[in-house]
């Protein structure tokens, strides 16, 4: 008999497993929280710090930075979709093998600017050699890569931000995904890069199924199409992968809101009660990006107000009882930060109290005193 799962049941389990129903206990390592999310988007590091902080009790941005730069239990590198994320360092063997196994699409660059697979391999190897045991700025790294490969790698053929970058940078994300590169601590105002702790990637045939299982435990029930979207993978490849895993008995089909979906094998227990509670999720929070169907997470007016042309993450969101019910923005001045929240409907007295607590928690994470303002958010979407 097919297990039937409602949106409320799926939301309750997803939120619980993300530490969004009940925050992790004080002292929980930041790497454990990031692992529960799978990865924390970190193009804007302060947003990643809030993502971790609102899922915990007592954790601040200083704790996240200590995990990154001191004990190195977290790594800031290129993760899902080739974008910058925080990953748990102990999970790099899975991430590296799985991400490098995802088929890549056609190159977006002009034929004369592209690199061959052989050249890409040379660049990735050169990056890993250059960064072993040191932190380099992008200009220093560029010099090292060109010296190890050849002048062709330094040709300024890659359009970027009204400038032209050297050819080698078009595969920089592949170096991050393969474990040859990660971010280091800033040198003044300059970003640096280094190499993550050495590790042995799992065989791809083990890592890819393991990533699917972890994804389904965190965000299931889900479908091959949603998994492909989350990973920026070809839909046909994801469909074939799910069929193979189903035939092997590693995932199983359920009925989610009346439509076929998948969970990890045996992982069919879901809470009975609906979700209750208020949460503030920052830019590009993993929950808002990964949870599907998007039209159920962003119901009604939220679909227009809190998404940018259907894309999640460009606005920080107010989550009420498991769905997006508004947007917010914080502006810091010295030791104070103003948290402006724009609800899309009326909040109950209980929800207003919880919102005030959440705004205070955002301030604690950012090591600032928070002032809550309920009103229109005038800031536009993040690029």
* Within a domain: 331: yes
Write out pLDDT tens, residues 274-293: 889 999 999 999 999 999 99
Q: Would you call 375 helix, strand, or coil by DSSP?
A: coil
Percent of the chain residues past pLDDT 90, beyond the cut:
91
* Within a domain: 300: yes
Domain that holds residue 347: 278-374
What confidence category does residue 348 fall into, taking pLDDT thresholds of 50, 70 and 90? very high
* Within a domain: 308: yes
Domain count within the chain: 1
Write out pLDDT tens, residues 52-110: 999 999 999 999 999 999 999 999 999 999 999 999 999 999 999 999 999 987 788 88
C-alpha span between 95 and 211 (Å, rounded): 8
Which pLDDT does position 110 carry in this prediction?
83
What is the average pLDDT value for the chain, to the nearest integer?
95
Which pLDDT does position 161 carry in this prediction?
78
* Within a domain: 172: no
Write out pLDDT tens, residues 9-29: 999 999 999 999 999 999 999
* Within a domain: 208: no
C-alpha span between 136 and 150 (Å, rounded): 19
C-alpha span between 128 and 122 (Å, rounded): 10
Q: Whose CA is closest to 262, among 274, 288, 285, 244?
A: 244
Half-sphere exposure of 30 (CA within 13 A, CB side): 31
* Within a domain: 263: no
pLDDT value at 361 more than 70:
yes
Q: What average pLDDT does range 172-183 have in this prediction?
A: 95
* Within a domain: 346: yes
* Within a domain: 287: yes
Q: Whose CA is closest to 76, among 135, 122, 17, 126?
A: 135
Q: Are 321 and 299 in contact (CB under 8 A)?
A: no
- Tokens coding 274: 């609906």
């Amino acid at each position: 008999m097919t297990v039937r799962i409602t949106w409320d049941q799926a939301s309750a389990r997803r939120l619980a497993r993300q530490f969004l129903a009940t925050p992790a206990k004080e002292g929980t390592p930041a790497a454990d929280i990031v692992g529960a999310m799978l990865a924390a988007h970190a193009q804007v590091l302060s947003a990643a710090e809030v993502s971790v902080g609102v899922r915990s009790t007592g954790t601040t941005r200083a704790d996240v930075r200590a995990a990154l730069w001191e004990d190195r239990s977290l790594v800031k590198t290129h993760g899902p979709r080739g974008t910058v994320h925080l990953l748990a360092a102990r999970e790099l063997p899975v991430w590296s093998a799985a991400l490098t196994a995802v088929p890549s699409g056609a190159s977006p660059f002009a034929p004369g600017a592209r690199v061959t697979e052989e050249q890409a391999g040379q660049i990735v190897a050169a990056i890993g050699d250059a960064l072993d045991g040191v932190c380099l700025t992008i200009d220093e790294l560029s010099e090292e890569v060109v010296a190890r490969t050849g002048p062709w790698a330094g040709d300024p053929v890659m359009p970027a931000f009204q400038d032209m970058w050297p050819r080698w940078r078009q595969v920089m994300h592949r170096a991050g995904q393969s474990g040859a590169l990660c971010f280091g601590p800033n040198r003044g105002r300059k970003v640096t890069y280094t190499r993550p702790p050495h590790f042995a990637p799992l065989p791809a045939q083990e890592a890819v199924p393991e990533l699917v299982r972890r994804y389904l435990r965190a965000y299931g029930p889900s479908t091959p199409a949603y998994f492909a979207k989350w990973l920026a993978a070809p839909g046909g490849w994801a469909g074939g992968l799910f069929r193979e895993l189903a035939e092997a008995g590693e995932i199983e089909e359920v009925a989610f809101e009346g439509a076929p979906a998948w969970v990890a094998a045996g992982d069919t227990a879901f809470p009975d009660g609906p979700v209750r509670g208020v949460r503030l999720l920052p830019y590009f929070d993993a929950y808002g990006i990964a949870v599907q169907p998007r039209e159920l997470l962003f119901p009604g007016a939220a679909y227009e107000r809190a998404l940018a042309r259907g894309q999640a993450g460009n606005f920080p969101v107010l989550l009420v009882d498991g769905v997006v019910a508004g947007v917010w923005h914080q502006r810091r001045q010295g030791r104070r930060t103003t948290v402006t929240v724009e609800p899309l409907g009326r909040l109950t007295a209980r929800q207003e109290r919880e919102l005030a607590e959440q705004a205070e928690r955002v301030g604690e994470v950012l090591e600032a005193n928070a002032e809550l303002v309920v009103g229109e958010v005038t800031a536009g979407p993040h690029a």
